[in-house]
Amino acid sequence: MEKRRIVIAADHAGYPLKQALIGLLTAEGYPVADMGTDSTASCDYPVYAEKACKYLTEGNADLCILCCGTGIGMSMAANKIKGIRAACCTDIFSTKFTRLHNDANVLCLGARVLGEGLAWELVQAFVTTDFEGGKHARRVAMITEIENRR
Ligand code: RB5
């Protein structure tokens, strides 16, 4: 399978995890675009969620990974953007099924919740699992219809 193009971003709390994931993804041959932040200096996660999601929805990457303290703020901000289906995950099952059934295009991770080892397992499940389509495509289209209507 062709390696998916990944865009990644974090706030200060997610910065160390982002750096670790960039190293691991790059070592596995994934093209990774880093949208910041560039240090552990305090910053605002919505800025980085928007920047990375813009990069994704403009077609420059296939999947996005966002890291903050809990993963929740990043997912809330990302899900305000048209075309984004962001999932904040802490277990392998949900991570796999949000690709299979929801066609999630953004994985949000909590650096203060997950160890680096588990975070890497989740990332690997996310980037190697395909959307199942079929009846799930109809439901994902319904999410888009809500997005367009509300
Ligand atoms: C930063 O302190 C923290 O609020 C942020 O990283 C994130 O957890 C928000 O959801």
pTM: 0.98
Whose alpha carbon is nearest atom 5 of ligand 1?
69
12 in catalytic set: no
Check residue 17 and give its pLDDT.
98
For residue 31, is pLDDT > 90?
Answer: yes
14: three-class secondary structure by DSSP: coil
Please provide the DSSP assignment of 23-83 as one string: HHHHHTT--EEE----SSS---HHHHHHHHHHHHHTTS-SEEEEEESSSHHHHHHHTTSTT
16: three-class secondary structure by DSSP: helix
pLDDT in tens, 83-130: 999 999 999 999 999 999 999 999 999 999 999 999 999 999 999 999
For the Cβ of 21 lying below 6 angstroms from any atom of ligand 1, the answer is no
- Probe ligand 1: pick from 44, 45, 76, max atoms within 8 Å of CB? 45
For residue 30, is pLDDT > 90?
Answer: yes
Q: What is the dihedral of CA 13, 120, 63, 33, to 10 degrees?
A: 60
| CA 72 to ligand 1: nearest atom | 10
Catalytic-labelled residue, pool 53, 67, 68, 108: 68
- Probe ligand 1: pick from 37, 48, 74, max atoms within 8 Å of CB? 74
Q: Which domains does the chain have, with CATH numbers?
A: 6-149 (3.40.1400.10)
Q: Give the number of C-alpha atoms closer than 13 A to the C-alpha of residue 99, restricted to the C-beta side.
A: 18
Using CA atoms, how far apart are residues 60 and 88, in angstroms rounded to an integer? 22
68 in catalytic set: yes
- How many beta carbons lie within 10 A of that of residue 127, not counting itself? 21
- Mean of pLDDT over the chain: 98
Enumerate residues 6+ apart whose C-beta is below 8 A from 49.
9, 66, 73, 74, 77, 78, 81
